[in-house]
Structures are given as structure tokens and as C-alpha cells.
């Protein structure tokens, strides 16, 4: 996990729920991160997960493209440089304004 992503996920209270994942320093091509994350979750949880069981949470069009590159759904959060409209336009499966009140149950 790169420090930048660790800080972001800790700030929003997500780090305590995820001891694995893939991040920008794992591969220069962001669209290759999905399989890395799936391999790490398999190692951590002791079972395979499919892309269809995977939800990518991101805040850029590149995060949306990364999710779709390996067949996962993407929740795009408009807390960064990109507006909700821009994230909808790039094909996010769901767009939310922020993570306040965020629940995975809303997306399964």
C-alpha cells in the first residue's frame, strides 16, 4: 500500500476494514491493479473472489476505467477534482457526493 492511499483510506475510516488492496505504486498501468487486488484478497481471506464480487471505490475516471478493465463495479466519489457529472459521464456504476453515511450494503 502506498503511503498516500493509506492516508486517504485512514482519513475516511476505510483502512481498518481493508488490510489488502492494490494501489498506484503496485503497477504503472492502473488497469492492471484489479488482478493484483484479487490475488491479495485471496491470500488474506483464503478464498478466491471474482471481479463480479468486487467493488472498486475511487474518485477519478481512471479509477472507473480500472474497475471496468477487470470486470468489477465502481462507486465513484466526487470528493476530488472530478464532479459527479464528470464521474457519471465516464461510466461509473454509481456516483456519490462523499463517503458520509457510506455503506457497502447500499451497493450489493
Q: Which domains does the chain have, with CATH numbers?
A: 3-107 (3.40.50.1000)
To the question of pTM greater than 0.95 for the whole model, the response is no
Confidence band of 4 (pLDDT split at 50, 70, 90): very low
pLDDT value of residue 3? 39
Provide the 10 A C-beta neighbour count for residue 76: 27
- Residue 79 CB-density burial (10 A; 0-12 exposed, 13-18 middle, 19+ buried): middle
Q: What is the percentage of the chain residues whose pLDDT exceeds 90?
A: 54
Question: Rounded to whole angstroms, how far apart are CA atoms 28 and 82?
Answer: 22
Kindly tell me the sign of the dihedral angle through the C-alpha atoms of 10, 22, 95, 53.
negative
3 state SS of 62: helix
Which among 68, 17, 29 has a CA at the least distance from the CA of 94?
68
Amino acid at each position: 500500500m502506498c503511503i498516500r492511499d493509506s492516508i486517504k483510506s485512514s482519513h475516511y475510516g476505510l483502512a481498518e476494514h481493508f488490510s489488502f488492496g492494490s494501489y498506484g505504486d503496485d503497477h504503472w498501468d492502473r488497469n492492471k491493479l484489479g488482478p493484483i487486488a484479487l490475488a491479495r484478497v485471496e491470500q488474506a481471506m483464503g478464498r478466491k473472489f471474482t471481479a463480479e464480487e468486487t467493488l472498486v471505490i475511487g474518485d477519478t475516471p481512471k479509477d472507473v476505467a480500472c474497475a471496468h478493465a477487470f470486470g468489477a463495479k465502481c462507486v465513484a466519489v466526487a470528493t476530488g477534482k472530478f464532479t459527479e457529472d464528470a464521474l457519471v459521464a465516464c461510466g461509473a456504476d454509481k456516483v456519490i457526493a462523499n463517503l458520509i453515511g457510506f455503506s457497502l450494503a447500499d451497493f450489493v
